[in-house]
C-alpha cells in the first residue's frame, strides 16, 4: 500500500488508470540522466558561450545574420597545418576550418576571403560591418533594414554625375540622386525628396 495525499491506495504502476485519481506527479518520479546537446548562441538575444567555446554557425545562417542562431562548440587545442583556406565570419582568412575554430571564429565560406565589397549580409543583428570605403546598400523592399531585412556592402562611389533625381536616404535626408547618397555612405529609402 502507498499513501498518497493522506489516502491509502494499492501499489500500482504510474500508467494504471486506477491510480490516476490518487497519485500526483510528486508521488513517483524517474531518475533520468540529462544529456544536454550543444548550447544555443547568437540570435536576437546575443547569447554567448562558455570560456573555451565559440559560436559556430551553419553555412546557411550567414554568421548569425537576421538573428540566426548558432551552437556553442569547443575551441580545438591542436590543428593540422593542412592548407585549405576558409573565410571567417570576421572577414579574415584562416589556413583551415580548425584554425578558424581555434581563434573562436565560425566559417562563412570555403576559400580565402574575397577582396572588394565585404561578403555577407549587413545592416542586421549579427551581420557583417562594411569597410570604411563601403556602405550597407538596401533594396527598396528592404526598407532600410527594417525587421532585419539584410543589405549588402557596396563600394562608395568616388564621383557622381550631376543629375538631379532626388532620393530620400535611410538617414532621413534628401540627396540629389542615388549616387550622391551612396557616396555619403547612405542607402536609398525611397525615390523623391524626404517628407518633412
CATH number at residue 178: 3.30.60
Are residues 44 and 30 part of one domain? Answer: no
The answer as to whether 166 is a domain residue is yes
Kindly list the strands in the beta sheet with 93-94, ordered across the sheet, starting from the edge strand earlier in the chain: 93-94, 86-88, 107-110
pTM assigned to the model: 0.45
Are residues 183 and 154 part of one domain? Answer: yes
> What total of structural domains would you count in the chain?
3
Domain that holds residue 64: 40-110
Q: In this predicted model, what pLDDT tens digit does every residue of 88-138 receive, in sequence order?
A: 888 788 999 999 999 999 998 888 876 555 566 888 776 788 888 899 988
Are residues 105 and 44 part of one domain? Answer: yes
Are residues 175 and 162 part of one domain? Answer: yes
The answer as to whether 17 is a domain residue is yes
Are residues 95 and 64 part of one domain? Answer: yes
Q: In this predicted model, what pLDDT tens digit does every residue of 155-167 receive, in sequence order?
A: 898 888 888 999 9
Are residues 186 and 140 part of one domain? Answer: yes
Distance CA(151)–CA(129), nearest Å, equals 11
The answer as to whether 155 is a domain residue is yes
Please check the confidence at residue 85 and state whether its pLDDT lies above 60.
yes
Are residues 180 and 142 part of one domain? Answer: yes
- State residue 108's pLDDT score: 85
The separation between the first and the last C-alpha atoms of the chain, rounded to the nearest angstrom, is 81
Are residues 45 and 106 part of one domain? Answer: yes
The answer as to whether 81 is a domain residue is yes
DSSP code for 32? -
Amino acid at each position: 500500500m502507498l499513501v498518497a495525499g493522506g489516502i491509502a491506495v494499492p501499489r500500482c504502476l504510474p500508467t494504471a488508470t486506477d491510480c490516476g485519481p490518487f497519485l500526483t506527479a510528486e508521488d513517483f518520479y524517474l531518475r533520468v540522466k540529462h544529456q544536454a546537446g550543444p548550447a544555443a548562441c547568437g540570435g536576437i538575444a546575443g547569447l554567448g558561450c562558455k570560456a573555451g567555446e565559440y559560436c559556430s554557425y551553419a553555412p546557411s545562417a550567414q554568421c548569425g545574420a537576421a538573428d540566426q542562431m548558432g551552437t556553442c562548440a569547443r575551441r580545438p587545442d591542436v590543428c593540422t597545418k593542412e592548407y585549405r583556406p576558409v573565410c571567417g565570419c570576421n572577414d579574415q582568412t584562416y589556413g583551415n576550418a580548425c584554425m578558424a575554430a581555434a581563434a573562436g571564429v565560425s566559417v562563412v565560406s570555403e576559400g580565402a576571403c574575397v577582396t572588394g565589397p565585404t561578403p555577407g549580409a549587413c545592416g542586421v543583428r549579427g551581420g557583417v560591418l562594411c569597410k570604411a570605403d563601403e556602405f550597407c546598400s538596401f533594396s527598396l523592399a528592404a526598407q532600410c533594414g527594417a525587421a532585419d531585412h539584410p543589405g549588402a556592402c557596396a563600394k562608395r562611389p568616388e564621383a557622381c554625375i550631376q543629375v538631379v533625381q532626388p532620393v530620400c536616404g535611410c538617414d532621413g535626408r534628401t540627396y540629389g540622386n542615388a549616387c550622391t547618397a551612396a557616396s555619403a555612405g547612405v542607402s536609398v529609402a525611397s525615390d523623391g525628396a524626404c517628407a518633412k
